């Protein structure tokens, strides 16, 4: 609950920062989070109508350094002349990003680049924050990537080619760093997997009872804390029974963990949301194909949704209620202010593309939501900053901001276009992927030509034709 | 000495020199009971950088005594006539499990040797001999530290076959970090145990001394003679866990510590290995591990660590096979690239079976095709393997003073289709194609 406040306030704060040009400092955000602790935790992440502020019509230069003092020994990388999509701020045309020692040190139109900097001339290219894949397999190893990632594996290269720079492998959020094992762990993130479905009524009851019992215990603890002020010898309530499912329930109720529930029907969705509202824990819904039917409920619950716009669910015709998946799902949820992340239906990545439904096509999945009415801006947020927020790493990745990690991709066009490829991917201020240097995609539109002429002896050609 | 001269002098001088040196050889032969053995071959690849054509090798008293061409041979010498054939040093297989009984142990079992998996009567020695191997390193199976590698002779009639008990410590398996931290923590524990026992013993000794002195003051003269008779006690260290002793030796940087050989299935594991090693504080500042086995050598992604391995002049044990660069059809010879980068190559067959072992010379020839010198290619199955196993003073080249283990091919060993005609161990023909 505290986290929610921190996020939403930090978001509001970020908007302010961009306008007022106050240097962003983590100390500031912590302070504000500390203040918010005393307040009653709000139930909703975004109140109605409080959408991210639209970018100013004329992008102002972000930073004007009077005396740019560049350190001699620092490692610089400069992306010059690109269109910068900061995601949390304005779009800057013909701008420059300067990275120093793996962090973004300045963004804007007039930025002096130190002579020692590695330079990428990127006019005509677009810069987006590195995509954050909510869930993946085979991109950064399993478990602790610091110990399991193969930084030379093809999966990592393919992930970078798809624009993904950070991902959650089920236990840790890490970066797709190549060729080294440095700075690749962002955060250990584990959710409580919540299965609460009418298909398993027994399990439902057990879970509910466990939550009730732990809630009772937490109240007893609060009472005990009060009592202790008057009577220092007050006996603390017994907590030896808090093991197994009870300790998981406690993690949920104290807000230490967030619940992640794989839900697709509206019936299950309603039940999970009711449970989350009754016990007041944080909820992330994965799937949510029928969430468009009652978006208000999801919004009131304060849940985030990780959805797959192309996932299909057939309507049940014999019931007198709405059912089935909708192409407009993402749009409707976004309109209700529900934080939205997008993931493809497969969490792996494959050379042959898994029919365009693997992580190699994460922007395509987002583009499909745009087809259903979601704004392009929201679709890009749903594969960058929103999954970063859900995974708790938005302080480091997910948008292009001064002070954040220098993780971004440079594409040869609009991210959501089917023609666009990632030209360079940068992680920690180092170029990790260069399309023209990998055998993977270098032969596809190498000069950015959209439709190469077919060769002279192209089809149709019959036997006996001169070659 | 002789062989060194042989390198420099042209063939004409040879005849003169040979006649001079052959004489003492004859004398020696007369003295010893066994006759001098002479192998005559059309070509002798010495492995020291020269090829004699034709060439002779003289074996006296169980050692190579002379390598040359057109030597005069004493009358009573036993001549092995291999004209039309090429002689080179017997091949050495640096890692195999062929023929061993299946037994795999996971965890830290450094005292385990594959000899317990070996039943001499059931070993397919003929497979090794047919492929031209005169010595093979038997590797224990299992993950973690499964045991130590033992080098044995493939001579089927020799019961005393262990050439070296403990050549290297193989490490394999996925959980690299826990393997290293757990095993070396345990080894450190053993060192501490001995240290504590030592301290305790020292304390006891001091107390005993004081006591004795006090007693001596109390009643001197009387018991003096008895005390003198008592022999000074030696400190007996408590027994260490034998499965950890080799690791203790590594931690204490003992002379006879075995090197660690790491099997890296994917290139990333080479980086993880360094990280895992640096977790062990004693090993943090030591030279990095330089022995690698690359069982996943067909993974083209290994090209990413070629420079890394080349910088540390690693010895790489791998099948000399081709791979493709990731996601391309670009052919890539990892062993050739490693050799160019400065690694020492040791070639092993793709699989542990007779057919793969027979195919090894053909695959080594592929190395030459991709730019490895012929000399290095042959050394990858002879001298480099011997150096890796620490038996290079006994075999690996055809040089005076070394043991007479040879393999004879019907043509140049690097010509595709070359077949092993004879395998000679200790001057004895132990495998002959004509006998089949």
Q: Which residue of A has its CA nearest to B299?
A: A153
- Chain A residues whose C-beta is within 8 A of a chain B C-beta are 146-147, 149-154, 157, 179-181, 351, 438-440
d(C-alpha A328, C-alpha A307), whole Å = 12
Query: β-pairing, A91-100 with A76-85?
Result: antiparallel
Q: Which residues of B touch A180 (CB under 8 A)?
A: 271
pLDDT recorded at residue B226: 54
Q: What are phi and psi of A121, to 5 degrees?
A: -80, 110
Query: β-pairing, B169-171 with B37-45?
Result: unpaired
Q: Which residue has the higher pLDDT, A307 or B3?
A: A307
SS3 label, residue B72: coil
d(C-alpha A24, C-alpha A18), whole Å = 9
Selection from A29, A65, A127 nearest residue A396 by Cα: A29
pLDDT recorded at residue B97: 93
pLDDT recorded at residue A447: 73
Cβ of B330 within 8 Å of Cβ of A439? The answer is: yes
Tell me the pLDDT tens digit for each residue of A124-141. Answer: 999 999 999 999 998 998
d(C-alpha B105, C-alpha B121), whole Å = 24
pLDDT recorded at residue A461: 56
Alpha carbon of B142: minimum distance to chain A alpha carbons (Å): 20
Substitution target from B271, B278, B323, B324 for chain A, most A beta carbons within 10 A = B271
Q: What is the DSSP string of B342-362?
A: TPEEEE--SSSSHHHHHTHHH
Size of interface A-B (CB pairs under 8 A): 41
Q: Which residue of A has its CA nearest to B279?
A: A147
Chain A contact for B12 (CB, 8 A cutoff): no
Substitution target from A152, A179, A432 for chain B, most B beta carbons within 10 A = A152
A30's CB contacts (< 8 A; 6+ apart) are none
Rounded mean pLDDT, A239-260: 92
Alpha carbon of A139: minimum distance to chain B alpha carbons (Å): 13
pLDDT recorded at residue A452: 56
Q: Which residues of A touch B328 (CB under 8 A)?
A: 439
Q: Which of A151, A179, A351 sits opposite B327 (nearest CB)?
A: A351
d(C-alpha B4, C-alpha B399), whole Å = 9
Q: Which of A153, A157, A351 sits opposite B268 (nearest CB)?
A: A153
- Mean pLDDT over the full length of chain A: 84
Q: What are phi and psi of B154, to 5 degrees?
A: -95, 5
Q: Which residue of A has its CA nearest to B329?
A: A439
pLDDT recorded at residue A305: 97
Chain A contact for B176 (CB, 8 A cutoff): yes
Contact call for residues A125 and A95 (beta carbons, < 8 A): no
Cβ of B268 within 8 Å of Cβ of A150? The answer is: yes
pLDDT recorded at residue B237: 84
Beta bridge partners of B291: B261, B315
pLDDT recorded at residue A353: 64
Cβ of A153 within 8 Å of Cβ of B330? The answer is: no
Q: Which of A146, A180, A439 sits opposite B325 (nearest CB)?
A: A439
Q: Which of B176, B266, B326 sits opposite A439 (nearest CB)?
A: B326
Alpha carbon of A435: minimum distance to chain B alpha carbons (Å): 13
Contact call for residues B134 and B394 (beta carbons, < 8 A): no
Q: What is the DSSP string of A18-66?
A: HHH-PPP-HHHHHHHHHHHHHSPPPS-SS-TT-PPPPPPSSPPPS---S
d(C-alpha B89, C-alpha B310), whole Å = 27
Q: Which residues of A touch B327 (CB under 8 A)?
A: 154, 157, 351, 438-440
pLDDT recorded at residue B220: 63
**pLDDT of B3 higher than 60:** no
* Token pair recorded at residue B225: 């003679």
Contact call for residues B18 and B2 (beta carbons, < 8 A): no
Cβ of A153 within 8 Å of Cβ of B305? The answer is: no
Tell me the pLDDT tens digit for each residue of A352-391. Answer: 766 688 999 999 999 999 999 999 999 999 999 999 999 9
Chain A contact for B271 (CB, 8 A cutoff): yes
Q: Which residues of A touch B325 (CB under 8 A)?
A: 439
DSSP state of A460: P
DSSP state of A323: -
Rounded mean pLDDT, B322-336: 85
d(C-alpha B301, C-alpha A440), whole Å = 13
pLDDT recorded at residue A14: 43
Q: Which residue of B has its CA nearest to A145?
A: B272
**pLDDT of B299 higher than 90:** no
Q: Which residue has the higher pLDDT, B2 or A35?
A: B2
Chain A contact for B33 (CB, 8 A cutoff): no
Chain A contact for B329 (CB, 8 A cutoff): no
Alpha-carbon distances, residue B182 vs A40, B176, B196 (angstroms) = 48, 10, 21
Q: What is the DSSP string of A358-404?
A: SGGGHHHHHHHHHHTT--HHHHHHTTTHHHHHHTT-TTTSSS--TTS
Tell me the pLDDT tens digit for each residue of A67-85. Answer: 456 677 889 999 999 999 9
User: Percentages helix, strand, coil for chain B, rounded to the nearest 5?
Assistant: 35, 25, 40
Rounded mean pLDDT, B142-157: 93
Tell me the pLDDT tens digit for each residue of A44-66. Answer: 444 433 444 444 455 454 544 44
Half-sphere exposure of A3 (CA within 13 A, CB side): 18
Contact call for residues A153 and B272 (beta carbons, < 8 A): no
Cβ of A440 within 8 Å of Cβ of B327? The answer is: yes
Tell me the pLDDT tens digit for each residue of A385-394. Answer: 999 999 999 9
pLDDT recorded at residue B300: 85
Reported as a pLDDT band with limits 50, 70 and 90, residue A453 is low
Tell me the pLDDT tens digit for each residue of A195-235. Answer: 998 889 999 999 999 999 999 999 999 999 999 998 888 88
Alpha carbon of B90: minimum distance to chain A alpha carbons (Å): 38
**pLDDT of A412 higher than 50:** yes
Selection from A36, A20, A13 nearest residue A255 by Cα: A36
Substitution target from A140, A142, A150 for chain B, most B beta carbons within 10 A = A150
Q: Which of B304, B326, B327 sits opposite A179 (nearest CB)?
A: B304
Out of A286-295, A335-344, A437-446, least confident range? A437-446
Cβ of A147 within 8 Å of Cβ of B326? The answer is: no
């Amino acid at each position: 609950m505290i986290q929610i406040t921190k996020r939403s306030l930090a978001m509001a704060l970020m908007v302010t920062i961009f306008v007022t040009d106050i240097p962003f400092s983590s100390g500031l955000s912590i302070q504000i989070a500390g203040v918010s602790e005393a307040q009653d935790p709000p139930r909703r992440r975004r109140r109605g109508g409080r959408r991210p502020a639209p970018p100013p019509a004329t992008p102002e230069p972000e930073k004007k350094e009077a005396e740019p003092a560049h350190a001699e020994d620092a490692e610089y990388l400069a992306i010059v002349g690109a269109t910068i999509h900061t995601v949390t701020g304005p779009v800057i045309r013909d701008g420059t990003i300067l990275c120093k020692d793996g962090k973004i040190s300045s963004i804007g139109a007039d930025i002096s680049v130190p002579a020692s900097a590695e330079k990428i001339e990127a006019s005509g290219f677009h810069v987006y924050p590195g995509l954050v894949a909510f869930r993946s397999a085979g991109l950064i190893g399993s478990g602790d990537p610091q110990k399991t990632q193969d930084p030379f594996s093809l999966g990592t290269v393919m992930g970078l080619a798809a624009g993904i720079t950070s991902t959650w492998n089920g236990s840790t959020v890490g970066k797709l760093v190549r060729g080294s094992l440095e700075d690749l762990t962002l955060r250990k993130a584990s959710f409580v997997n919540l299965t609460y479905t009418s298909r398993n009524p027994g399990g439902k009851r057990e879970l509910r009872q466990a939550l009730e019992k732990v809630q009772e215990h937490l109240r007893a603890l609060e009472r005990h804390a009060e009592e202790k002020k008057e009577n220092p010898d007050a006996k603390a309530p017994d907590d030896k029974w808090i093991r197994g499912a009870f300790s998981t329930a406690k993690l949920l109720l104290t807000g230490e963990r967030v619940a992640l529930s794989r839900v697709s029907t509206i019936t299950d969705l309603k039940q999970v949301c009711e449970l989350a509202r009754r016990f007041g824990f944080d909820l992330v819904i994965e799937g949510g194909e029928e969430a468009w039917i009652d978006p208000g409920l999801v919004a009131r619950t304060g849940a985030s949704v990780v959805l797959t716009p192309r996932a299909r669910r057939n309507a049940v015709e014999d019931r007198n209620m709405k059912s089935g998946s909708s192409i407009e799902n993402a749009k409707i949820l976004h309109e209700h202010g529900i934080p939205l992340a997008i993931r493809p239906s497969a969490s792996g990545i494959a050379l042959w593309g898994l029919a365009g439904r693997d992580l190699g096509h994460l922007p395509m999945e987002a583009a499909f939501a745009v087809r259903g009415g979601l704004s392009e801006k929201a679709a890009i947020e749903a594969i960058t900053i929103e999954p970063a927020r859900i995974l708790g790493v938005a302080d480091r990745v997910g948008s292009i901001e001064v002070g954040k990690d220098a993780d971004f991709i440079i594409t040869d066009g609009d991210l959501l276009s089917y023609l666009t490829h990632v030209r360079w991917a940068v992680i920690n201020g180092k170029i990790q992927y260069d399309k023209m240097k990998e055998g993977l995609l270098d032969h596809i539109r190498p000069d950015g030509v959209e439709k190469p002429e077919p060769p002279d002896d192209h089809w149709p050609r019959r036997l006996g034709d001169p070659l | 000495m002789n062989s060194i001269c042989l390198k420099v002098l042209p063939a004409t001088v040879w005849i003169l020199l040979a006649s001079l040196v052959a004489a003492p050889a004859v004398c020696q032969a007369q003295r010893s009971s066994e006759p001098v053995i002479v192998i005559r071959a059309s070509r002798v690849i010495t492995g020291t950088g020269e090829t004699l054509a034709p060439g002779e090798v003289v074996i006296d008293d169980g050692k190579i005594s002379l390598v040359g061409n057109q030597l005069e041979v004493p009358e009573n010498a036993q001549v092995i006539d291999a004209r039309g054939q090429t002689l080179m040093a017997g091949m050495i297989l640096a890692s195999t499990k062929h023929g061993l009984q299946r037994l795999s142990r996971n965890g830290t079992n450094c005292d385990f040797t594959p000899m317990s998996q070996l039943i001499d009567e059931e070993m397919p020695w003929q497979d090794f001999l047919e492929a031209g191997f005169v010595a093979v390193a038997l590797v224990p199976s299992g993950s973690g530290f499964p045991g130590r590698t033992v080098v044995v002779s493939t001579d089927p009639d020799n019961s005393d076959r262990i050439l070296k008990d403990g050549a290297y410590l193989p490490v394999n398996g996925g959980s690299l970090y826990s393997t290293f931290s757990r095993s070396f923590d345990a080894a450190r524990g053993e060192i501490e145990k001995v240290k504590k026992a030592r301290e305790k013993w020292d304390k006891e000794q001091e107390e005993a001394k004081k006591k004795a002195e006090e007693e001596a003051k109390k009643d001197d003269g009387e018991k003096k003679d008895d005390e003198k008779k008592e022999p000074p006690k030696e400190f007996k260290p408590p027994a260490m866990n034998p499965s950890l002793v080799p690791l203790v030796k590594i931690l204490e940087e003992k002379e006879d510590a075995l090197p660690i050989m790491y099997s890296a299935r994917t290139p990333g594991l080479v980086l993880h290995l360094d990280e895992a090693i640096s977790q062990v504080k004693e090993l943090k500042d030591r030279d990095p591990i330089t022995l690698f086995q690359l069982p996943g050598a067909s993974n083209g992604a290994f090209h990413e660590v070629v420079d890394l391995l080349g910088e540390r002049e690693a010895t790489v044990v791998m099948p000399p096979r081709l791979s493709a660069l990731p996601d391309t059809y670009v052919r890539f010879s990892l062993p050739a690239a490693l050799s160019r980068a400065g690694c020492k190559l040791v070639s092993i067959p793709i699989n542990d079976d007779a057919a793969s072992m027979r195919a090894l010379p053909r695959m080594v020839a592929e190395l030459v095709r991709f730019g490895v010198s012929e000399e290095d290619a042959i050394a990858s199955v002879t001298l480099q393997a011997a150096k890796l196993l620490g038996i290079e003073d006994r075999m690996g080249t055809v040089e005076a003073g070394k043991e007479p283990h040879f393999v004879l091919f019907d043509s140049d060993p690097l010509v595709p289709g070359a077949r092993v005609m004879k395998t000679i161990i200790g001057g004895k023909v132990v495998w002959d194609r004509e006998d089949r």
